[in-house]
Amino acid sequence: MVRVGIIGATGYAGQQLVWYLNMHKNAEIKFMVSNSYVGQEFSEIYRNFKKFLDDKLIGVEDVESKLDEIDVLFMALPHGKSAPFVKLAMDKGIKAIDLGADFRLDSEETFKEWYKDDYKHPEFIKDAVYGLPELKRREEIKNCKIIANPGCYPTASILALAPLLENDLIEKDSIVIDAKSGVSGAGRSAKIASLYTECNESIKAYGVTTHRHTAEIEQELSKIGEENIALTFTPHLVPMNRGILSVTYSKLKKDISEKEIYDLYNKFYENEYFVRVINDLPETRFVRGTNLCDIAVRVDKRTNRVIAISAIDNLIKGAAGQAIQNMNIMFGLEENDGLDILAMNP
Ligand SMILES: NC(=O)C1=CN([C@@H]2O[C@H](COP(=O)(O)OP(=O)(O)OC[C@H]3O[C@@H](n4cnc5c(N)ncnc54)[C@H](OP(=O)(O)O)[C@@H]3O)[C@@H](O)[C@H]2O)C=CC1
Ligand SMILES: CC(=O)N[C@@H](CCC(=O)OP(=O)(O)O)C(=O)O
């Protein structure tokens, strides 16, 4: 049994972690931490858990004394807030999985440029592994102390583009990513932009040229493509609760058929339980509630562009599901333990 603690259990990503871990046969939730609801039952905040998980939430000041009870500490906190808890976990020799961005970027300068903040504990960057298992990082994930769990848009976008770069099929300065997210991606805290009246019956681009996920996507794609990649990433907010659709465009380097590209995608993802390379175009409703990522590709012969499209659930493959997938690898469990769920549709 893997014993876990969750800080930020009351946020959207945190409650999704709780949902999956609560029914994970090989994991046991030892404590859940909140900032605003200390002393209340978890099921008072998320009433779908009533009778199934009524444990009381503890405060951040109690975390240190509870670390002896767990094997791994999950953090689903605003940026910059996880690093001090990671330090506590490292001091106790406990593994840490951060759903935020505190250890995702390899360079302190890049972090400062995109997050307008300093890395809180840069001494741990070397110990953190970017936890996207489908990039063939399982050995590193298994042996590391800290998982920097990828962001939601980066997960969808990197998985869509990785086989093209691995096979050197595209011009590296030609990548454009047009991605759309449901509103839960913005978290549960009150913000005017997330109000029903602000986002219902409307769609908008935001963070154009400035979204911090650009750096994360560039970092990981540059490693696969073995050269520095700069790309255009434009996120959009759409009026649905969850889901990300990432539509990527890049210029092909050579004449290659759609069928040949599909063969390369199928080979790249042939042993990946959570990636489905599909012929139909991905839709968020078919991955909703799951840890799956659906991917399809099309070639536009007129422009010689390849369009790779992916769909994920931002809270699951884009956050909590991926974090549990990483935990499963770290603790030698089956990778799909507790995550073997299909979308309920309609
Ligand atoms: N939403 C998503 O789709 C995704 C989110 N993530 C990442 O996961 C993390 C959490 O995001 P999300 O769940 O959306 O955010 P929410 O705003 O929904 O939740 C934030 C959580 O952090 C807690 N918190 C806030 N401030 C503090 C503090 N100073 N000390 C301790 N706890 C604090 C809140 O506690 P309380 O409720 O008690 O106030 C809450 O549990 C972020 O880093 C985000 O980037 C990653 C991928 C996808
Ligand atoms: C719709 C929406 O607002 N989405 C969030 C992405 C949240 C996320 O997962 O990213 P991090 O973990 O890197 O914060 C945003 O664009 O900021």
Q: Please answer whether residues 159 and 152 qualify as being in contact, where contact means their C-beta atoms are separated by less than 8 angstroms.
A: no
Q: Please answer whether residues 262 and 208 qualify as being in contact, where contact means their C-beta atoms are separated by less than 8 angstroms.
A: no
Q: How far apart are the first and last CA of the chain?
A: 35
State residue 284's pLDDT score.
98
pLDDT, tens digit, 9 for 90 and up, residues 234-245:
999 999 999 999
Selecting among 144, 152, 199, 293, the annotated active-site residue is: 152
Find the 249 Cα to ligand 1 centroid distance in Å. Answer: 31
Domains and CATH numbers, the chain: 2-150+317-330 (3.40.50.720), 152-314 (3.30.360.10)
Report the share of the chain in percent with pLDDT over 70.
100
Burial 219-254 (b: 16+ CB within 10 A, else e): bbbbbbbeeebebebbbbbbeeebbbbbbbbbbbee
Helix (H) or strand (E) holding 95: strand 95-98
Q: What is the pTM of this model?
A: 0.98
Query: Ligand nearest 243 Cα, by number?
Result: 1
Average pLDDT over residues 2-28: 98
Q: What is the ipTM of this complex?
A: 0.98
235 lines ligand 2 (CB under 6 A): yes
Tell me, yes or no, if 152 is annotated catalytic: yes
Q: Please answer whether residues 283 and 311 qualify as being in contact, where contact means their C-beta atoms are separated by less than 8 angstroms.
A: yes
The rounded distance, in Å, linking the Cα atoms of 149 and 291 is 14
Q: Please answer whether residues 301 and 276 qualify as being in contact, where contact means their C-beta atoms are separated by less than 8 angstroms.
A: no
Q: Please answer whether residues 235 and 206 qualify as being in contact, where contact means their C-beta atoms are separated by less than 8 angstroms.
A: yes
Assigned token pair, 316: 């699951």
pLDDT, tens digit, 9 for 90 and up, residues 187-239:
999 999 999 999 999 999 999 999 999 999 999 999 999 999 999 999 999 99
Give the pLDDT band (50/70/90) at residue 322.
Answer: very high
The rounded distance, in Å, linking the Cα atoms of 191 and 46 is 20
| Surface-to-core class of residue 76, CB atoms within 10 Å of its CB (0-12 exposed, 13-18 middle, 19+ buried) | buried
Average pLDDT, the chain: 97
The angle formed by the CA atoms of residues 339, 344 and 346, to the nearest 5 degrees, is 160
pLDDT, tens digit, 9 for 90 and up, residues 100-113:
999 999 999 999 99
Find the 35 Cα to ligand 1 centroid distance in Å. Answer: 10
185 lines ligand 2 (CB under 6 A): yes
The rounded distance, in Å, linking the Cα atoms of 319 and 346 is 23
Query: Ligand nearest 314 Cα, by number?
Result: 1
The rounded distance, in Å, linking the Cα atoms of 181 and 261 is 27
Average pLDDT over residues 19-27: 98
Phi and psi torsions of 81, nearest 5°: -90, -15
State residue 281's pLDDT score.
98
Query: Ligand nearest 242 Cα, by number?
Result: 1
Find the 139 Cα to ligand 1 centroid distance in Å. Answer: 29
Locate the ligand 1 atom nearest the alpha carbon of residue 75 and give its number. Answer: 9
